Structure 1
Amino acid sequence: MFRPIINSYTRKLNKISLKTANFCDSSKIKRPDVKALLDEAASFEDEEAARDGNEWSTSPYPKGATARNQALHSLRPRVDPRETSIILFPGQGTQYVGMGSDLVKFPGAKDLFEAANSVLNYDLLKLCTNGPQDKLNRTEYAQPAILVCSLAALERLKEERPSAIENCVGTAGFSLGEIAALVFAEVMSFKTAVKLIKIRGEAMQLASEMTPGAMVTVLYGPDSELGRACIKAKEHAMSLGVENAHCAISNYLFPHCKIVAGNEEAIKYLEDNKKEFKLRKLKRLQVSGAFHTQLMLPAKEIFRAALAKAHLSDPSIAVHSNVDGRHYKDAAHVRRQLPKQIVAPVKWEQTMHVLYERSADMPFPNTFECGPGQTLSVILKMVNTKAWGSCQNVPA
């Protein structure tokens, strides 16, 4: 049902030069083909469904044991929250050359990279450790790299502090990090996740090339006019003849800090006119498109087709969705909700409130950020300083 959408974008893509995207030398990198992506999504075959597909995921349960609902377990009055944990996984923009190099000494982490290579058909660890950075920044490479490095960091946590895994009561991931959280919660196998993230990354990169876009972090104050700024930026892009002009909040980070995404012309307008709207600071992100906006609609449809054929299980741990901050009820809920995340704003600030809301006298759990960078730890500090006091980074 989404072929007409893809076909219209295919025609447009033939007229687009990759040079306009200014991401890297396109002559050195093979561009994903729309038809190939569509066929790959439509013919997605999950070989994990026929056997135990969780061999690469980290399970806190002995083999054959019945998984308990960790979220309900955490609500029992006799459980001290300080003995429980919450695990967070970062998203795109955190990638850097050299990540993953310190993790291969952990057997479980090394196995993840080798398993990923068999799906991706290239040496992921080599790309992570040696770059180049411009290639690593491309969405179709950045997303698998961050996913695998984040789960490799989880293996490190398992070795160094196994109680954090055993006593985890909730998990969440920022954008693509949500798929890492779903692997941890045993919703999908590691190989299934890599296959899905490969399709997701290639589809989002392709959508970015169809409609060049950008994302910018915006710091603003009570007197700022961010809403009006986005409207004016969209109108400016329309006046330049931009098709599908768009400019809107794509990520809710913390009070007075949002990420805005849209067409390149719209984001440039915000940068040039920030004083008019009393915007304090703007900073571009290391991404190649306007993610979590309607400009990603072709990618959403491709990803949804692949996810429809993937084997999913009910979560063993509460996994909170980026779309509304609530935890997934079951596998069917994941199948419905996860594709929406590609075109909907990431409500991370709201998710943090859901995860850490408690009475004034109740202690906070230990929080572990597994993956490259410390972005989520910084955001948590801005949202809830007390919760951040028990937050640690598990570097990739």
Structure 2
Amino acid sequence: MTRSAVVICPGRGTYNKAELGYLKRHHADKAEFIGMVDDYRANHDQLAISALDGAERYSVGTFSRGDNASPLIYACAYSDFLSIDRSRFEIVAVTGNSMGWYIALTCAGALSPFGGMDVVNTMGTFMQESLIGGQLVYPFVDADWREIPGRRDDILEHVRLINARSHSSLYVSIELGGMLVLAGNEEGLTALETTLPRIDQRFPMRLANHAAFHTPLQEPISERGRAALGQGLFRQPDVAMVDGRGRIWYPWATDLTALGDYTLGHQVTQTYDFTAAVHTSVREFAPDCLIVLGPGNTLGGAVAQSLISCGWDGLSGKADFSARQASEPLLISMGLDEQRQWAVS
């Protein structure tokens, strides 16, 4: 029986040490696509994606760079998308987190595979060259993934007060399930780190080689992107897309100028609400399951927390979600070998 599915595309931070060799392990049959990606990189005097994936050792300094991480994750995720067994799954919509929006555009057909690579590599390289500001993450849910009353509002009040200081910039970068990704300049981030209570000796946690994505600090990157990437890249999608505001772009009814403006404008400089994207995806398309593309599984918790926050299918906490996963999986993470087999032929 065919199951309806919403596909979710990952963003930065999903290719880590455990993912080294992901393309080689899972996508030896994607030689034409990976060859195109490598040729693109060679034409821009950049290291081949296959060489990065085939490295003997993982290095944070190399693999977390935007000019390497973005196209590497793109290659892995789009290859995963091509591997989904279409005889078992009807893909009713696609969405993504942060850079995952560019991958979602490709999966939906709004960008060609080459066009997707062009957008991902160009924007990733521009952000790495400038590296304006940084990001950190902080949770507002408890161990059962239920929102702690008042914590989110408290975090946002700290952000407001710090951003009001003359030399500090601080914003909500991504609404990520049970966490807020916060971004700003060094003064703003340091002020927040000294204000927020430490949690589990992990949070607030800085993200290596991450700029202040999805904030007004990225206006110069948006302008460079618009100048380098023409509107001609965008095409009518053949699958519905849910963006970082929770808005839907329908197949064969998309204003391509507006899509380009959003992708290279609002999406770069304003908060990316991944939680809203998940809420809209399940409420409007009522899928039987959600398929999160690899590499990695860092997005799985955020998806589950987003489902819990809107009470999807009666979910009220982590225990409910785990029980549901054990009986009839609602979430399939292709970055996990034990779940990957559920999605591919």
> What is the aligned partner in structure 2 of residue 34 from structure 1?
none
| Contact in 2 for aligned 1:207/1:296 (Cα 8 Å) | no
Equivalent position amino acid for 2:150 in 1:
D
**Superposed displacement of residue 337, structure 1:** 1.2
> What is the aligned partner in structure 2 of residue 127 from structure 1?
52
| Contact in 2 for aligned 1:250/1:292 (Cα 8 Å) | yes
Question: Within the alignment, does 1:346 sit opposite 2:272 as a pair?
Answer: yes
Equivalent position amino acid for 1:374 in 2:
N
Partners of 1:314 and 1:108 in 2: CA distance: 28
Secondary structure at the residue paired with 2:232?
coil
Q: Deviations over 1:38-87 (max 9, x none)?
A: xxxxxxxxxxxxxxxxxxxxxxxxxxxxxxxxxxxxxxxxxx9x721111
| Contact in 2 for aligned 1:93/1:287 (Cα 8 Å) | no
Q: Deviations over 1:266-325 (max 9, x none)?
A: 11111111149xxx9422223431111111111111112233243321110001111443
> What is the aligned partner in structure 1 of residue 324 from structure 2?
none
From 133, 137, 143, the counterpart of 2:70: 143
TM-score for the superposition, normalised by structure 2:
0.78
> What is the aligned partner in structure 1 of residue 87 from structure 2?
163
> What is the aligned partner in structure 1 of residue 120 from structure 2?
197
Equivalent position amino acid for 2:295 in 1:
P
Q: Which moved more, 1:173-182 or 1:96-105?
A: 96-105
**Superposed displacement of residue 392, structure 1:** 0.6
Equivalent position amino acid for 1:395 in 2:
G
Question: Within the alignment, does 1:366 sit opposite 2:282 as a pair?
Answer: no
**Superposed displacement of residue 154, structure 1:** 1.7
| Contact in 1 for aligned 2:92/2:287 (Cα 8 Å) | no
> What is the aligned partner in structure 2 of residue 268 from structure 1?
190
Compared with structure 1, are the counterparts of its residues 164 and 367 closer, same or farther at alpha carbon in structure 2 (3 Å cutoff)?
farther
Partners of 2:207 and 2:183 in 1: CA distance: 10
From 331, 334, 339, the counterpart of 1:394: 334
From 109, 112, 116, the counterpart of 2:37: 116
> What is the aligned partner in structure 1 of residue 260 from structure 2?
335
Compared with structure 1, are the counterparts of its residues 164 and 91 closer, same or farther at alpha carbon in structure 2 (3 Å cutoff)?
farther
| Contact in 2 for aligned 1:98/1:128 (Cα 8 Å) | no
| Contact in 1 for aligned 2:22/2:53 (Cα 8 Å) | no
Q: Deviations over 1:156-215 (max 9, x none)?
A: 32xxx23355x100001111111111111111111111122121111112332xx4x221
Partners of 2:29 and 2:229 in 1: CA distance: 26
| Contact in 1 for aligned 2:163/2:188 (Cα 8 Å) | yes
Task: Map 1:203-282; keep pairs closer than 5 Å.
Answer: 203-208=126-131, 211=132, 213-220=133-140, 221-224=148-151, 225-235=154-164, 238=166, 242=167, 245-255=168-178, 257-275=179-197, 281-282=203-204
Question: Within the alignment, does 1:381 sit opposite 2:304 as a pair?
Answer: yes
Task: Map 1:84-103; keep pairs closer than 5 Å.
Answer: 84-97=4-17, 99=19, 101-103=21-23
| Contact in 2 for aligned 1:230/1:248 (Cα 8 Å) | yes
Q: Deviations over 1:85-117 (max 9, x none)?
A: 111110001122463624435454332221101
Secondary structure at the residue paired with 2:87?
helix
Question: Within the alignment, does 1:185 sit opposite 2:112 as a pair?
Answer: no
| Contact in 2 for aligned 1:249/1:258 (Cα 8 Å) | yes
From 313, 316, 325, the counterpart of 2:247: 325
Partners of 1:382 and 1:272 in 2: CA distance: 27
Partners of 1:281 and 1:102 in 2: CA distance: 29
Q: Deviations over 1:106-148 (max 9, x none)?
A: 4543322211011111321221342433111111111111111
State the percentage of identical aligned residues. Answer: 20
Q: Deviations over 1:5-62 (max 9, x none)?
A: xxxxxxxxxxxxxxxxxxxxxxxxxxxxxxxxxxxxxxxxxxxxxxxxxxxxxxxxxx
Partners of 2:196 and 2:18 in 1: CA distance: 35
> What is the aligned partner in structure 2 of residue 48 from structure 1?
none
**Superposed displacement of residue 348, structure 1:** 0.7
| Contact in 1 for aligned 2:293/2:335 (Cα 8 Å) | yes
**Structure 1 runs of 4+ off > 6 angstroms?**
none
Partners of 1:153 and 1:134 in 2: CA distance: 25
From 282, 297, 315, the counterpart of 2:219: 297
- Figure out how many residues of one structure are paired with residues of the other and give that number: 296
Which is greater in Rg? 1
Partners of 1:119 and 1:99 in 2: CA distance: 22
Equivalent position amino acid for 1:169 in 2:
V
**Superposed displacement of residue 226, structure 1:** 1.5
Structure 2, gaps ≥5 residues long: 141-147, 314-320, 322-328, 337-345
TM-score for the superposition, normalised by structure 1:
0.68
Secondary structure at the residue paired with 2:237?
coil
Equivalent position amino acid for 1:190 in 2:
P
Secondary structure at the residue paired with 2:233?
coil
